[in-house]
Amino acid sequence: MGDHFEKGQHALLNEGEENEMEMFGYQTHSCRKTLCLAGSIFSLGILPLVFYWRPAWHVWANCVPCSLQEADVVLLRTTDEFQTYSWKKVVWIYLSALNSAFALTPDHPLITDEECLINRAIQKPDLKVRCIKVQKIRYVWNNSEGQFQKIGSLEDWLSSAKIHLKFGSGLTREEQEIRRLICGPNTIDVEITPIWKLLVKEVLNPFYIFQLFSVCLWFSEDYKEYALAIILMSIISISLTVYDLREQSVKLHRLVASHNSITVPVCGRKAGVQELESRVLVPGDLLILTGNKVQMPCDAILIDGSCVVNEGMLTGESIPVTKTPLPQMDSCVPWKTQSEADYKRHVLFCGTEVIQAKAACSGAVRAVVLQTGFNTAKGDLVRSILYPKPMNFKLYRDAIRFLLCLVGTATIGMIYTLCVYVLSGEAPEEVVKKALDVITIAVPPALPAALTTGIIYAQRRLKKRGIFCISPQRINVCGQLNLVCFDKTGTLTREGLDLWGVVPCGKNGFEDFAFGQLSASSVW
C-alpha cells in the first residue's frame, strides 16, 4: 500500500525500535463519510461491523490520502510479519493560554528538539500543535523533520555538559508549565475498562456474530429449543469472560496506581526547592534526593552524589545497585555514548527504590528528570502488558485452516442444497433457509462458547495459585508447553540457595527425597 503514496504521505514511527510502525496520512472526506453513513443504515449495521474488524477499510472508505502535515487521520501498520492496522485521529494542543505568560526564543537555554518544536508552534498565529497518541505515548508533529516526534523525554543527542549546564539549576515555573502542557502528566494510568466496553468487544467477536445469525435462522424455522440452549450457554460464557477481564483490569490498575501519589522535592530556577506531586514532573526538572527511602516516580539522570538502588522490580535481582553521577565532559558526544561503561549506571529508573542517597561536596544529591509517564522503564513494562505482541503459533494457524475447511464444506453443501430445492420447486424463502441452514450445521455455533468455557476454567485454576492473565487467549498456547527454563537464581528467587534435600538416582530414575544434615561438598 505504501508504494502508492507520494513523498510526505508516508513515514516510519519509532524507526529502528521494536515497535516500529508505518504511518500514512489521510484526510476525512465529507462525501465519502456520508456514503459510509448511508451504507451503515442500509446494511443494518453490517458495514460498521466490517470496519470494526478491518480498521484499514474504515480509513480507506471514509478518507482520501494526503500528506502527514495536512492529515487529520493517521493510518498505522506494524512492520512485523502480522502487519496489523490501526488508526488514530490527529488532535490539537492549544497553547494560547501560555502565550501571554511565556514565549520561547531561539537563544533560550532550552534548545533541544522538543523546545524548538514548541517554539515554532508558539510563534504561529493559531498557537496550537498537532499530536497523536499511540499505545499511551504522545507524538507531536515536527515541521522541520516532517514527521511525528515522540515527546516526554530528554533527547538522546544531549551531551553531559549540556545536561549539567542547562538543567543543573532546575527549570523556571514558565518552562515547567509549557512542558506539562506539551508532554502531558507524569502518570502511568491504567484505566479500569468499563463493563459495557468489555461486553461490546466480546460480543462483536466474529464467532458470536455468526452465532447470532444461526440463532435467528433457527427461530425462523421454529427450532427454538436448541436456539435457546445456545443463547443461554453464550450468555453464561460471555458473562464469565467479562467478569474475569474486569477483575484483571482492576488488579492491574491498583498495581500501578501508587506511582501517581508520590511527593518529591523539586528545585526550581527561581522558586527554590519545593514539594511537588510526581504527576506534575516534566523532563528537565531537577530532583533533590534526601537520605530517606524513596520510590522513583520517573527516570532520572544522577548528576550529583551517589545512590544505592534496589532494582528488583525491573530486573528481579535482589542485590542493590550503586549509581554514580554523570561526569561532566567538554565533549559534544551524546551522554549515553561518551564513556565505555554502561550509561545505565547513571540512571535512576522509575519504580525502583532509592535505599541510600549520599551527597557529594555540594551537599545535595541531584538528578535531572529524563523520562516521564509511559516513556519510563516502568511505563514500558506496563505497556508490554497492555499491548502484548501478537504470536504466530501453529495452534492458531491450524485452527484457521480447520475453520476454512468447514466453510469450504459448507459452501459445497449449500450449492448442492440450492440445486436440489430449486429443482424440486420449493418456495424461494424455503430454499434460502435450507441453504443457510447447511452453514450452521457445518460450522458449529457452540464452538466459541465451548472454547471460552475451557479458557475460563483454566483461568480459575491459575487464579488459585496467584497467577493472573489479562490476555486469556494465550492460555491455549501455554497448554502446549512441556518444558520451562529459568535463567538463574536471583531473578525469580533470592540471592543464594539453601540445601533442602537430596534426590538419589536409582536404576529406574529418581528416588524419594532424602533429608539430613549434609555438607555442600557431599552434595555436589
- For residue 379, give the 3-state DSSP assignment: helix
Euclidean distance between CA atoms 510 and 508, whole angstroms: 7
Euclidean distance between CA atoms 463 and 470, whole angstroms: 12
Contacts of 27 (CB under 8 A, 6+ apart): 63, 64, 65, 66, 70, 71, 72, 73
- For residue 243, give the 3-state DSSP assignment: helix
* 487 assigned to active site: yes
Q: Given CA atoms 219, 221, 222, 226 in this order, what sign does their dihedral have?
A: negative
Q: Which of 460, 464, 483 is nearest to 472 (CA)?
A: 460
Q: Using the structure block, give the residue that is written with the C-alpha cell 518552562.
A: 175
Euclidean distance between CA atoms 5 and 249, whole angstroms: 40
**What's the DSSP call for residue 168?**
T
Pairing mode of beta strands 286-289, 263-268: antiparallel
Which is the catalytic residue, given 107, 222, 342, 487?
487
CA angle, residues 424, 426, 432, in degrees to nearest 5: 115
Give the type of residue at 99. N
Dihedral, 392, 398, 399, 401 alpha carbons, nearest 10: 110
Euclidean distance between CA atoms 349 and 337, whole angstroms: 18
Euclidean distance between CA atoms 134 and 470, whole angstroms: 20
Q: Which of 76, 96, 78 is nearest to 86 (CA)?
A: 76
**What's the DSSP call for residue 65?**
E
Q: Which sequence positions are flagged as catalytic?
A: 487
